[in-house]
Amino acid sequence: MSEVRKLILTDSKKKAKRRFAISDIHGCYKTFQALISQIALKKEDYLFILGDAVNRGPDSAAILDEILRLKMDGYQIFYLRGNHEQAILDSIEKKPKLREKLIRNHNNGDLFDERIIKEKYHKLLEESYHYIETEDYFLVHAGFDFSKAEPFEDSRSMLFINRFKAKKGPLKNKKVVVGHKPKSLSKILLRLASNKRKIYIDNGCVNHQVEGMGNLLCFNLDTRALSIQRNLDL
């Protein structure tokens, strides 16, 4: 796996008017737009996108274009890497068969030009972070494997781990916000109400036919409020 790209923010609470986290958009552009409108995102806010913005849904390119547009317009967007971003990067570098599978099965052919990924998307994916640490939170796509000697150097677990214990010591008594593994809305809300150290924000936006799922969520890191947007793309 690639070298860990991390970002440490020591003054995000002072610099940002509000701080939000969204995960697992999966190419659902209309849903993402509606959620951004719902929270009335401002340039003074921080928005953390916790990976898997692409694949599965109908419009991966539109999602990446919107991230690029927001950044260009002065919005403070922090894009983290998920396993789906990593799959695209892997397909570019060494796995042409994987690239064909991704194009065929994940509605992302518009990311490529004659089977070569468009440069603007390649750069955005390559520059994505494996995790971000703020004064009070860790943000990561999947999680950390604290059974490893160096959990914050284990990029694979950050993208793929399905279960982990949010240990107080390594996390410096901070909360950790994760996506990756869809959870029912009731379970997500229950954990928030119980003030658990691990906060789930993936409600399976593309799993709209599964009871209790099918929403894109936005977590306010400051108020702990959860904004909920039903899928509009599928």
Give yes or no for residue 157 having a pLDDT over 70. Answer: yes
Domain boundaries, position 85: 6-230
1 domain-assigned: no
Average of per-residue pLDDT across 6-24: 98
Give the number of domains in the chain: 1
86 domain-assigned: yes
Q: Domain containing 154 — which CATH number?
A: 3.60.21.10
In three-state secondary structure terms, 135 is: coil
> pTM (2 decimals)?
0.94
Average of per-residue pLDDT across 132-160: 98
83 domain-assigned: yes
- pLDDT band with cut points at 50, 70 and 90 for residue 136: very high
44 domain-assigned: yes
Among 19-23, 121-125, 181-185, 203-207, whose mean pLDDT is lowest? 121-125
Read off the pLDDT of residues 73-117 as tens digits, 9 standing for 90 and up.
999 999 999 999 998 888 876 656 666 666 665 555 567 764 557
For residue 90, the model assigns a pLDDT of 85
98 domain-assigned: yes
Is residue 178 within a helix (H) or strand (E), and if so which, with residue range? strand 175-178
151 domain-assigned: yes
> What tokens does 71 get?
């950044």
Give yes or no for residue 20 having a pLDDT over 90. Answer: yes
175 domain-assigned: yes
38 domain-assigned: yes
